[in-house]
Structure 1
Amino acid sequence: MSRILLIEDHDRLAQLMHQGLVNAGIAVDVVDRIDAAWAAVQQISYQALVLDRGLPDGDGLLLLKKLRNAGLSVPCLVLTARDALHDRVEGLEAGADDYLPKPFAMDEMVARVRALLRRPVEFHSIDPIHGDLRLHTESGVLFSGNESITLAPAELHIMQLLLYKHDEVVRRSALEAAAWGLSEAVTPNALDVALHRLRRKLRAIGSRQRIANVRGMGYALRQADDAK
């Protein structure tokens, strides 16, 4: 299932959009501020963004420019009550892929999001590699040398984040967000179960990489000799 991030501060509109997208088979995380959206995209590889311009902490285009300057090309549909030509041009020049003025029909919004999801995405599109591990994100297969194993969806997102952040310790909350999104209810031990399965799969393919528990901080990939 595709997962997108909706950045909209109008509660009722956000609820309606969320329901319309979920009914179309699209998983949605919802935030209402630029800073929350920036934090979310650091943790989760979204397939598209739906971004309102009028947010409590600034113009949504500030977030879009920040994303593009960071090299993140995740497709983005900009929503706005501003319908002047120069406003649309400003949004497109900031890096928007599409522009939808308010008010709009939910069916049109869903259709535009689906169109974005059909576009090739460069955001985190390169298969991550670290040590003897290579993850083919499209198929969900993890390789170590000539050995390979298929990962479940949550395991795939956890391993993807650990590989991208291999030089850093990743917080537990970030791994949970990557695996299950920001809005899905997660049981307290869901991450522990997923990590247990991942560790077993790493051993099964003979990898020297281990998922180490960095006490009080989070988790990180470590060489077997260094893992604690």
Structure 2
Amino acid sequence: MSRILLIEDHERMARLIHKGLVAAGIGVDVADRIDAAWTAVQQMSYQALVLDRGLPDGDGLVLLQRLRSSGVRVPCLVLTARDALHDRVEGLEAGADDYLPKPFAMDEMVARVRALLRRPVEFRALDPSHGDLTLQSAASVLCCGDERVTLAPAEVHIMLLLLRKHEEVVRRNALEAAAWGLSEAVTPNALDVALHRIRRKLVAIGSQQRIVNVRGLGYALREDDSAQ
């Protein structure tokens, strides 16, 4: 299932958009502020953004400009109550891919989001790597030299985050959010099961990278010296 981030602070509007997109088979996480959306985009691999301009902590275009400046090219649909031509131009110049003035029909919203999802996604490095590992995220394949193993969807998102943050310790809740979204309920041991499966796959393809538990902090990729 494709997953998008909806940045909308109006609770009723967010519920309606969420309901309509989920009914169309599109996974949706919701953020109501610029800072929350920025954090979510750093943790998750979204296929599209739906961004409201009027947010409590500023104009949504500020977030979009920051994302584009940092190299995030995920397609973005901008929502606004403003319908003037200069507002549309301003949004497109900030890096928006499409523009939808309020009020709108849900069918049109779904159609526009689906159109964005058909576009190629350039979200940081498409195939992140570290040490002897490369993740071909589009194919859900983890590679070590000539060895390859297929990952489940949640495992792909976990490895994406660990590879991108390989110099940092990643907290447990960040890995859970990456794997199952910000809105989905997660069973207490779901992450432990997923990490166990990934660790077995790392060994199976002969990687020297290991997922280690940094007590009290979270998880990190570390090279296993004993595997050399």
Fold-level similarity (TM above 0.5) = yes
The CA deviation at 1:129 is 1.2
Is 1:158 matched with 2:158? yes
Once the two structures are TM-superposed, the CA of residue 226 in structure 1 deviates from its matched residue by 7.7
1:135-214 paired onto structure 2 within 5 Å = 135-214=135-214
Match of 1:28, SS state, is: strand
Secondary structure of 1:22 counterpart: helix
CA–CA distance in structure 1, aligned partners of residues 223 and 61 of structure 2 = 41
For residue 188 of structure 2, give the secondary structure of its aligned residue in structure 1: coil
Match of 1:72 in 2: 72
After superposition, residues 53-68 of structure 1 pair within 5 angstroms as 53-68=53-68
Aligned equivalents of 2:141, 2:119: Cα separation in 1 = 23
Deviation of 1:125 after TM superposition, in Å, equals 4.8
- Asked if the contact 1:133–1:143 (Cα under 8 Å) also holds between the matched residues in 2, the reply is yes
Instruction: Specify every segment of 5 or more residues in structure 2 that has no aligned partner in the other structure, as ranges.
Output: none
Q: Percent identity?
A: 80
Corresponding residue for residue 88 of structure 2: 88
1: distance between equivalents of 2:104 and 2:226? 55
Provide the TM-score with structure 2 as the length reference.
0.97
CA contact (8 A) 1:48 1:76 kept: yes
* Contact kept in structure 1, 2:133 and 2:143, CA below 8 Å: yes
Q: Shift in Å at residue 78 of structure 1?
A: 0.3
Give ranges in structure 1 of 5+ residues lacking alignment.
none
Residue matched to 1:33? 33
Deviations 1:6-40 (A, max 9, x none): 01111111111101101111000011111110010
Deviation at 1:173, TM superposition (A): 1.1
Q: TM-score, normalised by structure 1?
A: 0.97
Question: d(CA) in 2 for partners of 1:126 and 1:110?
Answer: 26
Tell me how far apart the structure 2 counterparts of residues 99 and 56 of structure 1 sit (CA, whole Å): 20
| Contact 2:8/2:30 (8 A) holds in 1 | yes
Quote the Cα distance in structure 2 between the aligned partners of 1:226 and 1:180.
33
SS of the aligned residue for 2:95 comes to coil
2:215 is aligned to 215
Alignment size in residue pairs = 227
Shift of 1:151: 0.6
Q: What letter matches 1:175 in structure 2? A: L
Q: Does 1:23 align with 2:23?
A: yes
SS for the counterpart of 2:139 is coil
SS in 2 for 1:138: helix
> Structure 1 residue 148: deviation in Å?
1.2
- Displaced runs of 4 or more, over 4 A: none
How far 1:211 moved relative to its partner?
0.3
- Range that drifts further, 46-55 or 128-137: 128-137
Segment of structure 1 superposing worse, 16-25 or 123-132: 123-132
Give the C-alpha shift of residue 143 in structure 1: 1.0
Question: SS at the partner of 2:203?
Answer: helix
1:78-128 deviations in whole A, cap 9, x for unaligned? 000011111111111111100000000000011000000011111135211
Amino acid paired to 1:161: L
Q: What displacement does 1:217 show? A: 1.1
1:106 and 2:135 equivalent? Answer: no
